[in-house]
Chain A
Amino acid sequence: DGGITQSPKYLFRKEGQNVTLSCEQNLNHDAMYWYRQDPGQGLRLIYYSQIVNDFQKGDIAEGYSVSREKKESFPLTVTSAQKNPTAFYLCASSLTGSTEAFFGQGTRLTVV
C-alpha cells in the first residue's frame, strides 16, 4: 500500500546525543516536510524539500538538519544544539500543487 512511514514511533535519547528520525514515502511525491508539535500546540515547520538534493529552512530550523538524497526519503537529524528536543515530530509529503498533504504517524522523541 502507498503511504508515508515514520520510524520509530517512540524514541528516547540522552541529552547531548544526535538522533535521526526516518521518513519514507512511496507515493512518488515531490515535496516533503518536517514539523514539530509541542503538547497542545500547533505544527511548526522545521524544514521542507521540493526536489531531491534541495531543501529550505522552515520557521524553527535551528538545531536540526535534513538531507534529501532520494525522492522517497527525507530524514531529520535532531542535533545536540537543539535546546528543547523533546516533542512530537510529524513528516508529510505532497505532489506539487496537489489538494492534499499526507502525514506519517509521527515520532515522539523524549530526551532525558
Chain B
Amino acid sequence: AQKITQTQPGMFVQEKEAVTLDCTYDTSDPSYGLFWYKQPSSGEMIFLIYQGSYDQQNATEGRYSLNFQKARKSANLVISASQLGDSAMYFCAMREDNTDKLIFGTGTRLQVFP
C-alpha cells in the first residue's frame, strides 16, 4: 500500500548550517513522484522540489536538494545554509502516477535559531 513516513517530529538547526529532513516511502507502482512542501504558520502550502521515480539525478532547487535513494525508498530533503525564514513545517508527499493519488507524511517542524 502507498505510504509516506517522516520520523522526525521536530528538528533544530543553527542559521547558515545545513539540515536533512528524512522521508521514506512505500509503493507498488513503478512510476511515482516525490514532493516536498513547506508550510509556514500562515497555513499556505509552498512547493519546494520534485523528484520523479525515473529521474537519474537528484533534484535541486536553489538551497533545496533531494537525496533520492530509490533502493532504500528514501527521499530526504537537504536544506543548505539555513535561514531564519526556513522555520516551518515540512511535508514529504508521494503521488502514484497510475492513480494520481497524492498522499502526505506527518511532517517535520523545523526551527532555525540564530
Contacts and interface: CB of A to CB of B under 8 A. Distances in A.
A53 interface: no
Interface stretch (B11-19, B69-77, B80-88, B100-108): B100-108
Contacts of A94: 95, 100, 102
B43 A42 contact: no
Contact of A99 (B37, B52, B91, B104): B52
A79 interface: no
A67 B102 CA distance: 18
A99 B106 contact: no
B35 interface: yes
A45 interface: yes
- Which of the four size classes fits the interface of chain A? 20 to 34
A45 B101 contact: yes
A11 to B, nearest CB: 14
Interface in A81-112: 88, 90, 92, 94, 96-97, 99-103, 105-106, 108
A69 to B, nearest CB: 19
Interface string A28-56: 00110101000011111100101000001
Nearest to B6: A42
B45 A42 contact: no
B41 to A, nearest CB: 11
B47 interface: yes
A101 B101 contact: no
Nearest to A41: B106
B44 A106 contact: yes
5 contacts: A40-B109, A41-B106, A58-B103, A90-B45, A94-B102
Given A31-B100, A45-B101, A97-B33, 18 more contacts: A30-B100, A33-B102, A42-B91, A43-B104, A44-B104, A45-B103, A48-B100, A50-B99, A59-B103, A90-B45, A92-B45, A94-B95, A100-B35, A101-B35, A105-B43, A105-B44, A106-B43, A108-B43
Interface of A: 30-31, 33, 35, 40-45, 48, 50, 56, 58-59, 88, 90, 92, 94, 96-97, 99-103, 105-106, 108
